[in-house]
Homo-oligomer: A and B are copies of this chain.
Amino acid sequence: MQDESEVAVLRYGHRPGRDDRMTTHVGLTARALGADRVIFPGNAGQSEETVQDITGRFGGPFDVELTDQLDATIRGWDGHVVHLTMYGERVQDVEGDIREAHREAPLLIVVGGEKVPFEVYEHADWNVGVTNQPHSEVAGLAVFLDRLFEGRELEQEWPDADRRVLPQERGKRVVDAEELEEGS
């Protein structure tokens, strides 16, 4: 289901074993930085489990899906499609247009693995480079989301979390939900 303000992240391509951590990090970054769901290739079940586990403990709402129909998902998307690639237009040049377009329609952000076919470049409304330098699809996604949401994603609350990390100058402080309610 898509609603107008939805932002989904689609991980294009996954090699089990070799890509597990990168795909998991794409999913966790999507969740932490304000996306509503992540769509993984059908062979990324291990990453799906990890992201669901984190969502169960640290809160949602956030959806994780597997699909064997990546191309059909992109083609059939009822909204705008952004493809993050080092070959694309500079994020600082197009982020304003994308933000404006997203006010009226859901946004699908495609994050490449190794090989993204030309059809994805063709179908995307924007091919966007977070720099035109080779670095990391996880880093590109993170900067893109932070700019798309203009930092508001950092204020997000996680109402159904089992546990919560409380910001600390030094050390670690994790509280469970009951403890939080008692303290308030």
Contact = CB atoms under 8 A, between A and B. Distances in A.
Interface string A84-98: 001111111100000
* Interface band, chain A: 35 or more
Chain copies in the assembly?
2
A25 B136 contact: yes
A184 interface: no
Most buried by B among A122, A132, A171: A132
Contacts of A121: 170-172
A115 interface: no
Contacts of A146: 143, 146-147
A182 B173 CA distance: 59
Interface string A22-35: 10010011011100
